Homo-oligomer: A and B are copies of this chain.
Amino acid sequence: MKVTIYDVAKEANVSIATVSKVINNTGRISEKTKKKVLNVMKKLDYQPNIMASALMGKQTKTIGLLIPDLANPFFAELARSIEDRGHEFGYNLVICSTDYKEEKENKYISLLKRKSVDGFILASGFENLGKVEQLVKEDFPVAIVARDFPMFPVNTVALDDFMGGYLAASYLIDLGHENIGIIARDVWSNRERIRGFKQALDENQLTFPTDFEYIEKMSHIIQGKNMTIKYLKSLNPPTAIFACNDLLAIGAIQAIKEMGMNVPEHVSVIGFDNTIIATIVEPPLTTIAQPIQNMGKEVMDLMISQINGEKKEKIRVTLHPSLIVRESTGKFNIVN
Question: Chain A: residues with CB nearer than 8 A to chain B?
Answer: 47-52, 54-55, 60-62, 69-71, 73, 76-77, 79-80, 83-84, 90, 92-97, 108, 110-116, 221, 250, 276-277, 279-283
The CA of A276 and the CA of B69, in the complex, are separated in Å by 14
Taking CB atoms, residues of chain B closer than 8 Å to A110 are 47
The CA of A76 and the CA of B79, in the complex, are separated in Å by 10
| CB–CB B281/A116 < 8 A | no
The CA of A283 and the CA of B281, in the complex, are separated in Å by 9
The CA of A68 and the CA of B116, in the complex, are separated in Å by 27
* Nearest B residue to A115, CB-CB: B50
| CB–CB B281/A115 < 8 A | no
Taking CB atoms, residues of chain B closer than 8 Å to A52 are 55
| CB–CB B73/A73 < 8 A | yes
Least CB distance from A24 to B in Å reads 14
Taking CB atoms, residues of chain B closer than 8 Å to A250 are 280
Complex partner residue of A280 from B62, B76, B112, B281, CB under 8 angstroms: B281
* Nearest B residue to A251, CB-CB: B280
* Given A62-B94, A93-B95, A277-B280, 6 other A-B residues pairs in contact with their CB atoms under 8 A: A51-B115, A55-B55, A71-B276, A280-B280, A281-B281, A282-B283
Given A114-B48, A280-B280: A69 and B80 interface contact (C-beta under 8 Å)? yes
| CB–CB A95/B115 < 8 A | no
| CB–CB B92/A92 < 8 A | no
The CA of A289 and the CA of B55, in the complex, are separated in Å by 46
| CB–CB B114/A97 < 8 A | no
| CB–CB B47/A51 < 8 A | no
| CB–CB B47/A113 < 8 A | yes
Taking CB atoms, residues of chain B closer than 8 Å to A280 are 221, 250, 277, 280-281
| CB–CB A55/B51 < 8 A | yes
| CB–CB A80/B60 < 8 A | no
List 6 A-B pairs, minimum CB-CB distance, nearest first.
A282-B282, A76-B76, A71-B80, A70-B80, A50-B114, A51-B51
The CA of A51 and the CA of B47, in the complex, are separated in Å by 17
Taking CB atoms, residues of chain B closer than 8 Å to A94 are 62, 92-95
Taking CB atoms, residues of chain B closer than 8 Å to A73 are 71, 73, 76, 276
